Chains A and B, each alone.
Chain A
Amino acid sequence: MYQRSYYKRLFLQYCAYGLTLCVSLSTGLAEDDYLTEEQLYGDFAEEPTLVPDPLESVNRLTFKFNDFIYMNVVKHIAKGYQQVTPDPVERGASNFFKNLGYPVRLVGNLLQARIKGAWLETERFAVNTTLGVVGVLPAANRFERLQPLQSEDMGQAFGAWGIGEGPYLVLPLLGPSNMRDLFGLVGDRAVNPLKDSYSVIGDSNVQTAFSATEFAVKSPTVMRIYSQMKTGAVDPYSSMKNGYSQKRRSMIEE
Chain B
Amino acid sequence: MSLRMKFLSMIACVALFAVLPTQADESAKLATIMEAALDIMYQDAYKDYTSVQRQDAVRAIVEDKYDLEVLIRRAMARNWSLLTADEQMQVHNLIDQLIVKSFVEGMAGQGRPIVDCGAVIEVTSKRIEVPVVISFPSGKTFNVLYRLGLLKTGWQIYDIVAEDISMVSNYRQQFDDHFREENGARLIEKLEKLLKKEVLDVSTIIL
Contact = CB atoms under 8 A, between A and B. Distances in A.
A10 B150 CA distance: 38
B102 A241 contact: no
Interface residues of A, number: 49
A13 B173 CA distance: 59
Contact of B173 (A33, A34, A231, A238): A238
B33 interface: no
Interface string A32-62: 0111000111001001011100000000000
Contact of B98 (A24, A41, A232, A237): A232
B152 to A, nearest CB: 5
A227 B8 contact: no
Contact of A40 (B105, B139, B149, B170): B149
A34 B151 CA distance: 5
Contacts of B74: 40-41
Interface in B135-170: 138-139, 149-152, 158, 163-166, 168-170
B125 interface: yes
Interface in B78-120: 78, 80, 98-99, 101-102, 105-106
B73 interface: yes
B178 A235 contact: yes
Taking chain B's interface residues, is the majority helix, strand, or loop, or is none over half, making it mixed? helix
A41 B127 contact: no
A86 interface: no
A82 B165 contact: no
Nearest to A75: B202
Interface stretch (B11-19, B47-55, B57-65): B11-19
State the majority secondary structure of interface residues on A: helix
B12 A49 contact: no
B183 interface: no
A224 to B, nearest CB: 6
B20 A28 contact: yes
Contacts of B98: 232
Given A29-B19, A40-B70, A231-B200, A17 B12 contact: yes
A78 interface: yes
B191 interface: yes
A228 B21 CA distance: 34
A25 to B, nearest CB: 6
Contact of B165 (A79, A226, A230, A247): A247
A62 B82 CA distance: 31
A242 B204 contact: no
Interface in B1-51: 4-5, 8, 12, 15-16, 19-20
A13 B187 CA distance: 60
Contact of A239 (B127, B173, B190, B205): B173
Given A17-B8, A79-B204, A235-B174, 12 more contacts: A17-B12, A25-B19, A34-B152, A35-B126, A35-B127, A40-B70, A49-B172, A49-B173, A227-B205, A230-B200, A232-B98, A238-B174
17 contacts: A17-B8, A20-B12, A25-B20, A28-B20, A29-B20, A33-B125, A33-B126, A34-B126, A35-B126, A35-B149, A40-B149, A41-B73, A44-B78, A47-B168, A234-B191, A239-B170, A246-B170
Interface of A: 10, 13-14, 17, 20-21, 24-25, 28-29, 33-35, 39-41, 44, 47, 49-51, 75, 78-79, 82, 87, 91, 220, 223-224, 226-228, 230-235, 237-239, 241-243, 246-247, 250-251
